[in-house]
Amino acid sequence: MLAALLAASAGPAWAQGVIKSLPTGPLVPAQVPALKPWGGGPTPALDLPGLDGAEHRLRDYRGKVVLVNFWATWCADCIKEMPKMIETHRKYAPRGYEVVAVAVQSDNPQQVAQFTQRRHLPFKVALDTTGEVARSFGRVRVTPVSVLIDRHGHIVKRYVGEPDWAELHAQVEKLL
């Protein structure tokens, strides 16, 4: 399932092209390449236009726990996780939790707007029209990928594919 793959540098085998073809059938963790390792330092900038006309800057969310979700309207796993994303946002938003859903470069902005309206997404939706933000967050190339950021702007956890919602909720509870 392509949506579960992350075509990022995950060590020498992936980077050197040792893996010649993509696996078929259900993926097991050993088959899913990891995100580019986070070397610490500051969280990458997120300065993107939103569907609401506002500019979304990660620094504006300091003091809140933020989930940055890279997604696409054509991504089946993204669509599947959206009800849980909405539920999680509604549960924790009153306590200082925000979701910024970043539509990836390959997505059509009109389709993103239509999806957002049809699904009544209660959180911020931004457009990464150049792909720069996805690159800065560890070369995100496949969706969904979510990055959990604490109140101080530090990356706490990355999720490739749909998160384990119980684990994500436990993380959010600790951070709030």
Average pLDDT over every residue of 132-151 = 89
Higher pLDDT, 122 or 29: 122
Closest CA to 168 of 36, 65, 33, 31: 65
Q: pLDDT class for 94, splitting at 50, 70, 90?
A: very high
142 pLDDT higher than 60:
yes
Q: What pTM does this model have?
A: 0.76
Q: Look up residue 140 and give its two tokens.
A: 């995100």
CA distances from 152 to 57, 114, 143 (A): 14, 33, 26
- The residue extents of the domains of the chain are 48-175
Indicate whether 133 pLDDT > 70: yes
Under 8 Å CB-to-CB from 34, ≥6 apart: which residues?
6, 8, 10, 11, 160
The stretch 136-158 carries a mean pLDDT of 89
Q: CATH for 48-175?
A: 3.40.30.10
